[in-house]
Amino acid sequence: MQKAKLTFWQMWNISFGFFGVQIAYSLQNANISRIFATLGADPHDLSFFWILPPLMGLIVQPLVGKYSDRTWTRLGRRIPYLFLGSIIAILVMCMLPNAGSFGLAVGGAMIFGLISLMLLDTSINVAMQPFKMLVGDMVNEEQKGQAYSIQSFLCNAGSLVGYVFPFLFAWLGIANTAPEGQVPDTVKYAFYIGSAILILCVLFTTLKVKEMPPKEYAEFHGIDPEKKVEGKGPGMFTLLKNAPKTFWTVGLVQFFCWAAFLYMWTYTNGAIADTVWGTTDVSSEGYQTAGNWVGILFAVQAIGSVLWALVIPKFKNIKTAYVVSLLIGAAGFASVFFIHDQYLLFISFLLIGVAWAAMLAVPFTLLTNSLSGEHIGTYLGLFNGTICLPQIAAAACGGFILKMVGGAQVSMFLVAGVLLVLGAVAVRFVNEKK
């Protein structure tokens, strides 16, 4: 079967729901350290709270890939999973920022927050993974780069909206401070509005996208339909053993990149509160103002990522684009250590956004072009391990590394810069061949 080209808007519709999912994800990334620090967590323990999100992704996303490969319903193969994940995410987004508002002791509030975080990240992972699979399912090899670039744009646009919400609500006069141990209303409102946008975006994709029925899917990907019914097929460990070399070499690059960004998400609030606002007191107005400014900086990063996503296709060689992007991002991370002005930090985070753009688009383009369509969902789920494992490792080591670099949270940005340089070096091992 000839693999038909899709129009721009068909590819846009496939990924549009990702806009809403990414709002939820960005709210989590920008506010988790702030929420748990407000509840009373020690800065040296903050990275441990970041183990849960990637751990849940490591467990959930391969399962979503495996079982959605074998699923067919009236709604399709992938869409039932994204719809279920979104519904759960919406409910949890209304719970998490209220962890300190139920009259619980510090320990009880922490446990409530951890359970909510675990459920939120599980549901976001269930909702997020199908979008990557839909591109692999429905877009031909020639257009996958463009399709993932569209997904990257929507991802960053959603991030921008989610990051700006707390700052916007503070500007509108909503309270940005709260009694000790409670999360400000600016953060609560951000989660509430984000959950509403999430369900609207997912409904749009559900109504607009019609997945290929099994027979058409098999023809599109050159799969023998008789082979599909002979048995359940190889297990995940067998597929992992037989994964193409690209899976492992791109995974090595991913290790360094995602560890770097885990440290950014964990320590930006504490770092700029210290270096720009001159405070480490989590109950102070300065710390909470810094927390809102983190959203603005992450929004600037998203803008840089959107702009650079337009540049990446201009490179003749995608590996060259990968290397250049990661080195620019490394410079951005390192510069945060030396800049003590809240507005000059825009430059740093624009540069960091360059690396983020490449991380969202390039790995999946390289991987899906090296795969057949037969087990693409399972492989994309397994590939999520190259995102989750480095975050788990980085989170487990974060407190120890923070002590090694002197205890100042801003020092972790130098560590992140070094990690991206190592990622750029690792790109040379990537083989683009199918």
- Assessment of whether the complete model's pTM goes beyond 0.95: no
Which pLDDT score, from 0 to 100, does residue 230 have? Answer: 42
Q: From the CB of residue 380, how many other CB atoms can be counted at a distance below 10 Å?
A: 25
Which pLDDT score, from 0 to 100, does residue 364 have? Answer: 79
Question: At residue 341, does pLDDT exceed 90?
Answer: yes
Q: What is the DSSP letter of 213?
A: P
CA distance 75 to 86: 15
| Amino acid type, 44 | H
Which pLDDT score, from 0 to 100, does residue 233 have? Answer: 59
The domain at 8-429 falls in which architecture? Answer: Up-down Bundle (1.20)
DSSP codes joined into one string, 220-258: HHT--HHHHHSSS---HHHHHHT--HHHHHHHHHHHHHH
* Percentage of residues of the chain with pLDDT beyond 90: 39
Reported as a single tens digit per residue, the pLDDT across 111-120 is 888 888 888 8
Question: At residue 236, does pLDDT exceed 80?
Answer: no
Residue with tokens 């509108």: 172
Of the ranges 6-10, 154-158, 273-277, 380-384, which one carries the lowest mean pLDDT score?
Answer: 380-384
Q: Angle CA(28)–CA(294)–CA(22) in degrees, nearest 5?
A: 35
Q: Any residues with CB less than 8 A from the CB of 168 and at least 6 apart, and which?
A: none
Q: Which of 17, 9, 12 is nearest to 206 (CA)?
A: 17
For residue 369, give both structure tokens: 């072009």
Question: Would you say 24 and 195 are in contact if contact means Cβ atoms under 8 Å apart?
Answer: yes
For residue 126, give both structure tokens: 């269930």
Domain residue ranges in the chain: 8-429
